[in-house]
Amino acid sequence: MHSWLHVQGLKFIKALISVKDEYYYKHIEKLDLLKNMLLIFRDISHKDNMVTACFLEVIEEIRILNVKNLICYIMNKYSGCFEGLKLQSAVFERLQIKFDQIMDRSFDGNNNGKTGSGSGLNDRGYLTCLLYTSPSPRDRQKS
């Protein structure tokens, strides 16, 4: 097929992640942009080629930059895709370790592991990101 096109898409996703902007992270998660990338990887994971290498590089970039939103998104939604992979198991084991560290930190807050406000976890136990949003110009005029 057109593996060079897959590689270019993966390079673009890596460039978005490298910008280190929460706005991009939110949209990657909201629009489920990693879905097709993960499906392609699942289909060709038994091969050792450029597409697989680029995918693993994107996953490693997410882990190294410690992008908590994307780590939690990948592990909560697609962790089943990584089971049974032998060649790439080290990359996903490191991602799982990072995910476990994030979850441990969210439980080690002042609430002793309880979910709810202030814990960073929602009712299902997923990590949520609390971001400060500046008021819009219309809101600033009202006050």
Top-confidence residue, 83 or 98: 98
Sign of CA dihedral 122, 91, 57, 60: positive
Sequence-distant (≥ 6) Cβ neighbours of residue 47 within 8 angstroms? none
Q: Tens of pLDDT along 18-50?
A: 999 999 999 999 999 888 888 888 887 777 788
Percent pLDDT > 70 in the chain is 71
Global model pTM greater than 0.85: no
Q: Tens of pLDDT along 60-83?
A: 999 999 999 999 999 998 888 777
Helices (H), the chain: 3-18, 22-30, 34-44, 50-64, 68-78, 89-107, 137-142
